Structure 1
Amino acid sequence: MAYDPFIEPEPDVWAALDEEERIDLVMAYHRRARIRLPREKVHAVFHVIVESQIADPTLPVRRVAGRLMSEGLDRHEAIHAIGSVLAEHMNDLMRETKSGDENVDAKPDQNPNKAYLAQLELLTADAWRQSA
């Protein structure tokens, strides 16, 4: 299997791959496309996470990606836009953990990804282009 961010991978095939295989496929794509990245593996990991979220029918990420593409982004750009929100969310979670701000009394039913999914709903192609 070869990865191409412009073509959605078959969700079942993608899900059947080992995580490291997915990362290797994404890195191979960027090398074939001669896209030089300062942190190639980190970039690939975000691609893999977003692709896996798009493939998950229980998440709204597929719909968000479709909306971003209808706003003019190509599929690869939509992955990057979603990945930028994911990276910001992960950075926020890490800062909270490091500063001790995490709520140890949080209810088990609270979803730490709620903020991420809410930010995705607010994401627009124009806003992402302006931030990039």
Structure 2
Amino acid sequence: MIDRYDPEVTPDPAEWLALDEGERIQLVEAFHREARIPLPKSARALHAAIHAVVENQLAMDDQAIVRDTLQRLLEDGLTRHDALHAIGSVLAERIADAYQESSGTTGGDES
């Protein structure tokens, strides 16, 4: 059973996926708090949720593209934590794009 999260260490996929989503997010939040990584209070939960989603993708059998991307980023010299952030930033962009499409906004200047 996973009781600590460290983004530099790959969690056991079966154990990670056996956790409740809320537990995963709490573990990620606890890591950042204990490591004293500065995050705006308003962004902590979202930051942890994106970490958890990326770890979920890495742990799932059908997400080889995410694992391949992580491996490439590690080979390029990023730490695992920074690589998770890079993957998470792409995820966040896709979420924002999907939201804009569904709400009919483009995010650009419409004047």
TM-score when scaled to structure 1? Answer: 0.74
Q: Deviation of residue 99 (structure 1)? A: 0.2
Give the counterpart of 2:57 among 53, 58, 66.
Answer: 53
In structure 1, distance between residues paired with 2:25 and 2:70:
20
TM-score when scaled to structure 2? Answer: 0.88
In structure 2, distance between residues paired with 1:20 and 1:58:
22
Q: Deviation of residue 100 (structure 1)? A: 7.6
Identify unmatched segments of 5+ residues in structure 2: 107-111
Residue 10 (structure 1) aligns with: 12
Q: How many residue pairs end up in the alignment?
A: 101
Q: Secondary structure at the match of 1:72?
A: coil
Runs of 4 or more consecutive aligned structure 1 residues displaced over 6 Å after TM superposition: none
Mapping of 1:34-53 within 5 angstroms?
34-38=36-40, 39-53=43-57
Q: Secondary structure at the match of 2:37?
A: coil
Give the counterpart of 1:19 among 21, 33, 37.
Answer: 21
Mapping of 1:73-92 within 5 angstroms?
73-92=78-97
Q: Secondary structure at the match of 2:31?
A: helix
Q: Deviation of residue 57 (structure 1)? A: 2.0
Q: Secondary structure at the match of 2:61?
A: coil
Q: Secondary structure at the match of 1:7?
A: coil
Taking only the aligned residue pairs, the percentage that are identical comes to: 50
Residue 69 (structure 1) aligns with: 74
